Structure 1
């Protein structure tokens, strides 16, 4: 491996000679969305920062080839921290960052830190997938950076398969259906279920099915349903920083706006995001039970998070009395005035040497909170945002605002193929993984070092979002839904099947839990029955 790495690194002159030329996309550029089109083929790897980065990476390769894995890992962290401080900078030569993260994972493999290796590979996938979309696989493979697209992705899948096995061994409930894993008798919470369903009813019955499914489940347990037929856009004084045309904004970002809109109402203890193409399949499972399962590792301290959040939101929406030098700084000061440390759990340790960046969100509010604030699963690749539960708290407000802030101005994150997932991983994992590179230990599912924010309580895909065999057999990173599981998700169906097949799949699963006889006269469903 070492010789191959060095030959690639020695090709810097080739890179600089063609720094403005890149592999074209796999589909005609005219067929791409306008917002994405402006990023296709852009290559800034010839900038001075990347020439210096390349030199530093060459030194790391020497250490790696000499089997000095610990110094190599430390040097990689030092190389990555300055670049990671800006998403614009980091994605300007994403293949370089992906290669450094992949090399860090290989160092961890050699140091017998397989969990940390998996976390580094997840981050490598974030950057590699960006250039894969913008420039193509050949660009990555033929670059002077020590990385091969296919080999890197195969390595990620192997690492994540190990990680999932490790998690089940540490926490056996992860292999159980939600009904068997969840805590019975959990206290009642005020919960809102939030969804955006912007689908043409003449093409698919999905929006109607989703509404009926949510309404029935919410009525059974006393929850609220917040359902948008069009993508919302959160409005506050910071909205002026969304300078790109709204038509350029991918629809996936609407979940962040919808969550902020609902959090801002201050009427709930928890807010659930549920993709439109997901159904509740075991209505007996209460969301409070899933929350209690997530809180079992670090119970929340008593207190009215919603009241403090309402007070913050009132000041947030009013904004500064006079124009500040920096609007973002003013809002960061406001956030810091409300941020509090969590009740604390001895099982978790905040990172001692995490890189900090207040605007990015790498701050004390992110590092020190240990109570579960966000409940979401990981698939076989990384964080899955199709189903999430967020506590109505200052932390959640700060978190989703910082995710939103990554789309301000002309941002590469906005057009990343994984959209808001990228921004969330950038916050939840990147600074923690870089910090643990200096830790001299591996990570663990139960602490003290997790490699991600302790405020995120990961649950199993089986707990909250399995996939039909039609989808999971094609997307090998996704767990298969089995009879008795809580929620089924159809995300990815249209990639591998026709709209007609997906429609039949929606109807088939829907009528496993709803009465065909009772809904046969529903005007919106009649054309599909």
Structure 2
């Protein structure tokens, strides 16, 4: 365990270094998680497995990535050993169930509760060209957001144009840049950022009710208030954190958190913008 800690501190604290050997980093996370799993620390193991999964997922999208992952690497069969351990532990933990979430279970907040003092917006970037097979989603996504925001009096911030601050980056960065620009404008107190392909299914559930249920605290006079120390909420999908849907507070801490993720445009100062090598399938020249 000490050896794995040393490896993580040496090679995994800087994302740019870790991404140069994604599956090596994933191996360290996975093997450390297995040790914690054996000691009974299931939550800690789940966190490490998710770090391994982030590297696995990034590798799968690289050139030759999916083919490469079919092979045993670093002594691990990734689709058999890793995925089985990772998903089984996640299913046993059930961290996406309401009973497992950190909230005041004895306080009842109606799912349709609306605090008129809160200025809330829903942001989505649908950056698909007409040639994309996903282009049909734009009309469906906007219609869904319009119906929901109109019902609850939320600001509708739906766009198919990448924010100017992220035009030179991969489209995924627009989902961070857009809320950052809105927060800087000061028009909203909270922003719910949703992936284009996420839809509101139950239109009666408000963002306010989520905030008061999962980010609130009880006052001495028996009234609920949103905890001033909560600045960011993110969902889980049963396997771990689901980065496609999250809520950020327009506070110094909330803005700083997103800005820290977005980082500078200079690749030397932003490890996520550094080029990484493609994977090579064993026995095949690339």
Q: Output the TM-score relative to the length of structure 2.
A: 0.77
Instruction: Show structure 1 runs of 4+ deviating over 6 A.
Output: none
SS of the equivalent of 2:164 reads: coil
Q: Once structures 1 and 2 are overlaid, which stretch shifts more, 196-205 or 276-285?
A: 196-205
Alpha-carbon shift at residue 161 of structure 1 (Å): 0.9
Match of 1:230 among 161, 168, 172: 161
Alpha-carbon shift at residue 187 of structure 1 (Å): 5.5
The separation in 2 between residues aligned to 1:136 and 1:272, in whole angstroms, is 32
The separation in 2 between residues aligned to 1:208 and 1:129, in whole angstroms, is 29
Asked if 1:374 is matched to 2:232, the reply is yes
Match of 1:197 among 117, 126, 130: 126
Q: Once structures 1 and 2 are overlaid, which stretch shifts more, 254-263 or 205-214?
A: 205-214
1:289 corresponds to:
209
Match of 1:159 among 89, 94, 98: 89
Match of 2:267 among 409, 425, 444: 409
2:150 corresponds to:
219
2:57 corresponds to:
129
1:396 corresponds to:
254
Q: Kindly report the root-mean-square deviation, in angstroms, between the aligned alpha carbons of the 2 structures.
A: 3.5
2:193 corresponds to:
273
Q: Which has the larger radius of gyration?
A: 1
SS of the equivalent of 2:162 reads: coil
Match of 1:115 among 24, 30, 43: 43
Alpha-carbon shift at residue 107 of structure 1 (Å): 0.7
How many residue pairs are counted as aligned between the two chains? Answer: 262
The separation in 1 between residues aligned to 2:118 and 2:53, in whole angstroms, is 37
Residues 154, 181 of structure 1: CA spacing in aligned structure 2 closer, same or farther, 3 A cutoff?
farther
The separation in 2 between residues aligned to 1:376 and 1:115, in whole angstroms, is 17
The separation in 1 between residues aligned to 2:181 and 2:76, in whole angstroms, is 41
Q: Which has the higher helix share?
A: 1
Alpha-carbon shift at residue 376 of structure 1 (Å): 2.0
Residues 208, 94 of structure 1: CA spacing in aligned structure 2 closer, same or farther, 3 A cutoff?
closer
The separation in 1 between residues aligned to 2:147 and 2:207, in whole angstroms, is 14
Gaps of 5+ in 2: 276-286
CA contact (8 A) 2:122 2:194 kept: yes
Q: Which has the higher strand share?
A: 2
Q: Once structures 1 and 2 are overlaid, which stretch shifts more, 257-266 or 197-206?
A: 197-206
CA contact (8 A) 1:196 1:229 kept: yes
Alpha-carbon shift at residue 111 of structure 1 (Å): 0.8
The separation in 2 between residues aligned to 1:413 and 1:393, in whole angstroms, is 25
CA contact (8 A) 2:118 2:189 kept: yes
Alpha-carbon shift at residue 152 of structure 1 (Å): 1.0
Match of 2:176 among 239, 256, 259: 256
SS of the equivalent of 1:279 reads: coil
CA contact (8 A) 1:183 1:292 kept: no
CA contact (8 A) 2:15 2:272 kept: yes
The 5 A counterparts of 1:98-497 are 98-134=26-62, 136=65, 139=68, 141-143=71-73, 145-150=74-79, 151-164=81-94, 168-170=98-100, 182=111, 184=113, 186=115, 188-200=117-129, 204-234=135-165, 246=168, 249-296=169-216, 371-405=229-263, 408-409=266-267, 413-414=272-273
Question: Which structure has more RCO (C-alpha within 8 Å, separation ≥ 6)?
Answer: 2
CA contact (8 A) 1:406 1:413 kept: no
The separation in 2 between residues aligned to 1:284 and 1:393, in whole angstroms, is 27
Gaps of 5+ in 1: 1-72, 174-178, 236-244, 304-341, 344-370, 417-529
Alpha-carbon shift at residue 407 of structure 1 (Å): 6.3
The separation in 2 between residues aligned to 1:206 and 1:118, in whole angstroms, is 33
1:438 corresponds to:
none
The separation in 2 between residues aligned to 1:302 and 1:285, in whole angstroms, is 18
CA contact (8 A) 1:274 1:386 kept: yes
Q: Output the TM-score relative to the length of structure 1.
A: 0.44
The separation in 2 between residues aligned to 1:407 and 1:380, in whole angstroms, is 33
Residues 104, 226 of structure 1: CA spacing in aligned structure 2 closer, same or farther, 3 A cutoff?
same
CA contact (8 A) 1:234 1:260 kept: no
